[in-house]
């Protein structure tokens, strides 16, 4: 996150705390600051006014007379196309230092030039924050800019220091300046002052909002009329630039500003472009749409869409539509603040390659109560800076899903876990600074967690908050207790090691895949061990369940490798699967493409059902398990995961060992595979099997004689029964 020191100072008194000291304090408290950057880097500047500008014949250059004080006029040669009389400009005098070098007086076309007229680009401002006119010409300052002002960067709001803060995944609340202000105030022990929300006279609203998608559980909307669209005030432009956002106009800038303040994304629609003054939040649309950036995107049925009377109005949580965007003709707007499914926003954003500030906040999680605050704050700013009026009541649909959280922790346990001797006063002081409203009950303290701290759920979280604010430096240094145990591999470890060696010798490579998967993947598992274990605080919805089968993870790995031109594939994985109350170790094998190939002689052996069967049988034979103990049967269990006629079940000593064969065509299509082969083996059954030890047998003294015998047997007889004489099979 880009954190502006100047903007932060408006909410927290940072006197006596330099940006460097603030960065150190943030890092010590768990918010790593990766760097300190300035918006611009220049010295020797002054604000001037062009009092005369003449084009030099046969050139693109202008000879400008620039007043830099009441009694001092400088002649400066300028090549910018917008150089004209009456313009207030940034002047770099001889000796000024810019990113491009030091400025000196020089002669151009026989004319002396005593300085340079500057653009923001030449001061080092990031190009993506500038419009085309600012990039191609000198910066045009407001007419009220004071001529002779030498602290130009301060006047422009470019004397700011930006802290590049690396936020952890569980602190999505810190994607707002209000949250960072609360955090900094708690860290440095100072008071935070946030803007007071105003009350306005509001009339009943006739605007209709209908939620037709379960992925949009909560929606707030508000109509504001008498809007005047124009340039943003200077302070607003400065804040947006410091946050890495380009200024558009006062209305659009207010929506971005409030998002940066509260962490709640907003979207403004032009009211007269919303048919019948109604909005529907839907999914299930498959069509091409045009977003407000002019780009076309193909919607899929799972995408959440905002529409008005059947017409596209926006990709929910990501970007609005071109038709309803704010423009210079806008006189009334409809504001949107909503909750959308983080999982779906993430999928849509990645698929469309459309990563926006709003999408990133929805994906990481937002304060469930921030929508109300954002709507009120935006209303205040629109009234003040866009002459907003005719305010309608807020339309509220759905539920915000907020449930207050209380956490109880004892001082004794906290000190035992942390190895500290903190007093109750020290602990409650920290909790009060964090707005946890602590209530002391003897040796225990009850914390009332604010809505924006979605990461707080357990007593361990309270312990972490206390120690990170009181300081890890206060922990006593102790040597770790180390015990060395000399041991050897048990039978299970030996078998696992030999399995790896065998499969590698057969041409397979080992992979390690994610143990966590999504709810959807978990529900579609092959041969699930049992009821899946759900994480209480998943990093993302895509990693919320502990897998009960290896298949989905292995197929996803195959899809990734094929997409990156790593082909053909032959790999295996040995890993545990888990369910409530149980765990099991399994072996997965995957093949696709040529199993063996010799490019020199043009020889190829394509992987098929029998290739996979041969690998499994070779592995079992390495452990002295004869074919008589292995039974291959028709796959009558998992025909939704495997090809019904190219798969089989494996039994060992009458116990179900696993399943193998060609992956079902529908599943192959889902993972962009072709003729993929897969096996999943229960290693627990394998480990428990009685493995015959190999015994030395004296070599025959005479040459052996081999004869091939063709037998005709009943078609339902398994191959493993043909090893000896059995009259019942004829």
Round to whole Å and give the CA distance between 38 and 160: 6
User: Which SS3 state, helix, strand or coil, does residue 234 take?
Assistant: helix
Are 223 and 271 spatial neighbours (Cβ–Cβ below 8 Å)?
A: yes
Confirm whether residue 465 is marked as ligand binding. Answer: yes
Identify whether the C-beta of residue 579 lies closer than 8 Å to the C-beta of residue 533. yes
* Omega prior to 551 cis, within 30 of 0: no
Q: Both tokens of residue 520? A: 């959807």
- CA triple 32-34-40, angle to 5 deg: 135
* Sequential DSSP letters for 339-397: E--HHHHHHHHHHHT---HHHHHHHH---TTHHHHHHHHHHHHHHHHS--BSPBPPEEE
Decide if 212 contacts 494 (C-beta within 8 A): no
Pairing of strands 516-517, 405-410: unpaired
**Cα separations (Å) of 166 from 86, 238, 716?**
45, 23, 64
Query: Could you tell me the two tokens for 184?
Result: 């900094």
Instruction: Count CB neighbours of 105 within 10 A.
Output: 14
Widest pairwise Cα distance in the chain: 122
User: What end-to-end distance do the CA atoms of the chain give, in Å?
Assistant: 77
Burial of 418 (0-12, 13-18, 19+ CB in 10 A): middle
What residues have CB less than 8 Å from 256, skipping those under 6 apart?
240, 245, 357
Region of 275 (left: φ > 0; alpha: ψ -120 to 50; beta: rest) is: beta
Q: Are 643 and 669 in contact (CB under 8 A)?
A: no
CB 96 within 8 A of CB 111: no
Alpha-carbon distance of 562 to 595, in angstroms, equals: 15
CA atoms within 13 A on the CB side of 185: 22
Q: Which two tokens stand for residue 148?
A: 């002779």
Strands (E), 135-238: 161-166, 208-211, 218-224
Q: Cβ(92)–Cβ(152) under 8 Å?
A: no
Residue 505, class by beta-carbon neighbours within 10 Å (0-12 exposed, 13-18 middle, 19+ buried)?
exposed
Residues 1-24: b if buried by 16+ CB within 10 A, e if exposed: bebbbbbbbbbbebeebebeebbe
Nearest to residue 337, comparing CAs of 209, 231, 250? 209
What's the full length of the chain, in residues?
730
Structure-block tokens of residue 728: 């019942």
The helix/strand/coil state of 717 is coil
Burial 65-86 (b: 16+ CB within 10 A, else e): bbbbeeeebbebbbebebbeee
In whole angstroms, what is the distance from residue 354 CA to residue 319 CA?
8
d(CA 239, CA 158): 10
Cα–Cα distance, 499 to 505 (Å, whole number): 10
Q: Which residues are annotated as a binding site?
A: 455, 461, 464-465
Q: Which residues are annotated as a binding site for Mg(2+)?
A: 455, 461, 464-465
């Amino acid at each position: 996150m880009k954190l502006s020191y100047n903007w932060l100072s408006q909410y927290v008194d940072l006197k006596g705390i330099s940006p460097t000291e603030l960065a150190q304090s943030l890092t010590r408290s768990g918010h790593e600051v990766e760097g300190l950057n300035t918006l611009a880097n220049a010295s020797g500047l002054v604000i001037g006014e062009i009092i005369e500008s003449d084009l030099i014949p046969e050139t693109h250059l202008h000879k400008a007379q620039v007043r830099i004080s009441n009694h001092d006029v400088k002649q400066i040669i300028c090549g910018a196309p917008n150089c004209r009389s009456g313009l207030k400009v940034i002047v770099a005098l001889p000796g000024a230092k810019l990113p491009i070098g030091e400025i000196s007086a020089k002669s151009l076309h026989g004319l002396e030039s005593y300085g340079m007229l500057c653009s923001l680009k030449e001061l080092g401002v990031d190009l993506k924050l500038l419009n085309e006119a600012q990039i191609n010409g000198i910066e045009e300052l407001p007419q009220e800019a004071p001529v002779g002002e030498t602290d130009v960067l301060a006047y422009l709001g470019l004397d700011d220091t930006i802290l590049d803060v690396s936020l952890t995944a569980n602190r999505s609340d810190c994607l707002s300046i209000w949250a960072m202000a609360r955090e900094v105030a708690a860290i440095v022990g100072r008071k935070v002052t946030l803007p007071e929300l105003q009350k306005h006279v509001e009339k009943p609203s006739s605007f209709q909002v209908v939620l037709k998608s379960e992925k949009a559980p909560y929606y707030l909307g508000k109509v504001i009329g008498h809007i005047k669209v124009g340039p943003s005030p200077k302070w607003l432009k400065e804040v947006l630039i410091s946050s890495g956002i380009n200024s558009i106009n006062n209305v659009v800038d207010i929506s971005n500003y409030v998002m940066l303040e509260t962490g709640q994304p907003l979207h403004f629609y032009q009211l007269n472009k919303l048919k019948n003054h109604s909005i529907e939040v839907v999914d299930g649309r498959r069509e091409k749409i045009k977003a407000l950036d002019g780009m076309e995107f193909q919607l899929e049925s799972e995408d959440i869409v905002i529409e008005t009377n059947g017409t596209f109005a926006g990709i929910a949580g990501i970007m609005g539509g071109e038709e309803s965007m704010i423009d210079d003709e806008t006189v009334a707007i409809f504001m949107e603040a909503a909750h959308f499914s983080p999982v779906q926003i993430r999928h849509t954003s990645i698929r469309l390659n459309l990563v926006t500030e709003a999408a990133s906040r929805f994906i990481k999680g937002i304060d469930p109560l921030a929508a109300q605050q954002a709507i009120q704050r935006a209303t205040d700013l629109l009234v003040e800076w866009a002459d907003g009026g005719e305010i309608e009541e807020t339309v509220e649909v759905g539920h915000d899903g907020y449930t207050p959280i209380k956490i109880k922790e004892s001082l004794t346990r906290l000190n035992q876990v942390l190895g500290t001797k903190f007093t109750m006063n020290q602990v409650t002081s920290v909790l009060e600074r964090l707005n946890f409203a602590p209530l002391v009950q003897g040796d225990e303290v009850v914390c009332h967690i604010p809505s924006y701290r979605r990461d707080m759920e357990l007593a361990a979280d309270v312990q972490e908050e206390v120690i990170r604010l009181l300081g890890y430096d206060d922990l006593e240094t102790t040597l770790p207790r180390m015990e060395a145990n000399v041991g050897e591999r048990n039978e299970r470890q030996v078998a696992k090691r030999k399995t790896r060696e065998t499969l590698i010798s057969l041409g397979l490579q080992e992979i390690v895949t994610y143990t966590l998967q999504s709810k959807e993947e978990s529900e579609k598992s092959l041969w699930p061990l049992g009821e899946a274990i759900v994480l209480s605080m998943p990093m993302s919805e895509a990693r919320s369940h502990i897998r009960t089968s290896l298949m989905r993870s292995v197929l996803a790995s195959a899809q990734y490798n094929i997409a990156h031109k790593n082909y053909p594939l032959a790999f295996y994985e040995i890993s545990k699967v888990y369910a409530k109350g149980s765990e099991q170790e399994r072996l997965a094998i995957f093949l696709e493409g040529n199993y063996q190939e010799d490019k020199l002689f043009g020889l190829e052996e394509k992987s098929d059902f029998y290739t996979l069967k041969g690998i499994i049988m070779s592995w079992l034979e390495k452990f002295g398990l004869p074919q008589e103990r292995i039974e291959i049967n028709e796959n009558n269990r998992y025909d939704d995961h495997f090809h019904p006629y190219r798969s089989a079940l494996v039994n060992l000593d009458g116990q179900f060992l696993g399943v193998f064969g060609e992956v079902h065509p529908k599943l192959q299509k889902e993972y962009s595979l072709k003729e993929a082969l897969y096996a999943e083996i229960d290693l627990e059954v394998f480990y428990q099997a009685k493995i015959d030890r190999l015994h030395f047998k004296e070599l025959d003294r005479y040459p052996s004689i081999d004869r091939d015998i063709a037998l005709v047997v009943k078609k339902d007889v398994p191959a493993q029964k043909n090893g000896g004489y059995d009259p019942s099979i004829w």
